[in-house]
Structure 1
Amino acid sequence: MASRTASSRPVGAVTRGTTNPNRLRRMDRWIAAVHGQALRRTDGAVAVDLGYGAAPWTAVELLGRLRTAAPRVEVTGVEIEPARVAAARPYERDGLTFRHGGFEVPLDGGRRPMLIRAANVLRQYDEEQVAAVWARLRGRLAPGGLLVEGTCDEIGRRHVWVALGAEGPRTVTFAARLASLERPSDLAERLPKALIHRNVPGEPVHAFLRDFDRAWAAAAPFASLGARQRWVRAVRDLAADWPVTGPHSPTGHAPADGERRWRQGEVTVRWEALAPVGWG
């Protein structure tokens, strides 16, 4: 995506705008679980739904889900297509606004967001552009803020996202509706732009998905107890060789980002373990 030449114009290009209700529920629930405390303790915390698309559903839903963890948080939907902003304005209410903009993330009064969620925004970019976009968005965060960028399918059954702080990428989370998952590597088609072209031999993410499939196969006897129990067992085995976050991991993450999340069909891994060869 090429940047606009005039500084007064939003930075970015129009996306396809595809959206569906509940498409981002897995990402939203993870954010509320692992970042809700930071949102709750920050006065005037604002979260941005960047590139929400042709309909405002994801921004409306983000407000509702975040307020279960942080009752005073506000959400601003930011879209580069003016017609989409105009169509969303009737849905504004207390705590929910919509703005015309792009990667500059314009907020009233120079406010900085505690959260920027960018879902299905970077798929049309070249891989070489991702680091610069991440850096720009991270630069807009308030102290202690979080950028979450990733990709999901059209109805939110499979989703992979990267969480980034001011210092850079921290973790990669894989999330799925387990009843529809044949094997963990099915999530490969939803890898974020920084990783999707790296699912090839010799790259860490390829090795991770290979090992996850092996752990899933080894956990087949647990399938009689349900897909959730099989997933949890596979993740436990996987954690022997990969830095999976959890209550007993040395990653510094809270227990909310551990086995409690595994039972929701999620697993989170430190970015450094999956970063592309030559990254940075």
Structure 2
Amino acid sequence: MGTRPVGEITRGTTGINRLRRSDRWLLHHPDVQAALADGGLVVDLGYGASPGTTLELAARLRTRNVVGLEIDPARVVPTVDGVRFRVGGFELAGLRPSLVRAFNVLRQYPEDAVGPAWARLQAGLAPGGLVLEGTCDELGRRCAWVLLDAGGPRTLTLAWDPFTVGRPSDVAERLPKALIHRNVPGERVHALLASADRAWDVAAPHAVFGPRVRWRVARALLAEGGVPVLDHRRRVRDNVLTVPWSTVAPR
């Protein structure tokens, strides 16, 4: 008998192009590319009622070595363009992936379920593997995710549409489950969002050049103010802020 999937059936809402911002970030992250350099397996955990975002991930990463896992057997579909789909949960169906993407899954769980779920995913990774766990809104305009390796969480990334999101703290409603209840005074993530808003306000004179330029200035101000902002190797179309996990870790 097979191992029973670990987890709970969630709403399964999804949408075409919803995860484009995290996909673009993955595509250009050097550690992700290193993990997948030898054709490592990618698992998309909890893809929902439609496999569209799993197929998009495979296309953007330019690999067919992708397996979509769903805990609800009714959502499992036949192989599409080489991308396979199976029943599975946090136990990863016994697979040993080099990259796991788990988006909008833990958001529907209680906060105290995050640690055990992370640990289960980390334990299932191939050597050098990574987990991307995060949340976004229905249209993918506000996104936040944590990058983990076998040792624990490494970074938090906030990404948003420059033209529909007013200020950095508007992303707070989509913080990962590990942080969403920590956005209160005295917590590090609250301080980060407040600092990002202040830098955004100071950069207001650059708004005439558009929200992307304004955010680049604000991000530079954050770094000058002591926030350990992790640089991007290329100019991106999204407004993005990545910081070490220690910058936002719950107290």
TM-score range, shorter chain: over 0.9
State the Cα distance separating 1:8 from its structure 2 match. 2.8
Match of 1:77? Answer: 68
Secondary structure of residue in 1 paired with 2:144? strand
Match of 2:235? Answer: 260
State the Cα distance separating 1:233 from its structure 2 match. 0.5
In 1, distance between residues paired with 2:127 and 2:235?
27
Residues 8-87 of structure 1 mapped to structure 2, 5 A cutoff: 8-34=3-29, 35-42=31-38, 44-67=39-62, 72=63, 74-85=65-76
Match of 1:173? Answer: 157
CA 40–125 in structure 1, closer or farther in 2 if over 3 Å, else same: closer
TM-score for both structures, normalised by structure 2: 0.95
Q: Which amino acid is the alignment partner of residue 226 of structure 1?
A: G
State the Cα distance separating 1:37 from its structure 2 match. 2.4
CA contact (8 A) 2:36 2:98 kept: no
In 1, distance between residues paired with 2:161 and 2:126?
33
CA contact (8 A) 2:182 2:189 kept: yes
CA contact (8 A) 1:10 1:102 kept: yes
Query: Across the two proteins, how many residue pairs are aligned to each other?
Result: 249
CA 80–211 in structure 1, closer or farther in 2 if over 3 Å, else same: same
Residues 225-240 of structure 1 mapped to structure 2, 5 A cutoff: 225-240=209-224
Match of 1:204? Answer: 188
In 2, distance between residues paired with 1:79 and 1:23?
18
State the Cα distance separating 1:39 from its structure 2 match. 4.2
TM-score for both structures, normalised by structure 1: 0.85
CA contact (8 A) 1:40 1:73 kept: no
Match of 1:242? Answer: 227
CA contact (8 A) 1:185 1:209 kept: yes
Secondary structure of residue in 2 paired with 1:26? helix
Structure 2: gaps of 5 or more residues: none
In 2, distance between residues paired with 1:73 and 1:210?
41
In 1, distance between residues paired with 2:110 and 2:173?
16
Q: Which amino acid is the alignment partner of residue 103 of structure 1?
A: F
Match of 2:91? Answer: 104
Match of 1:93? Answer: 81
RMSD of aligned C-alpha atoms? 1.6
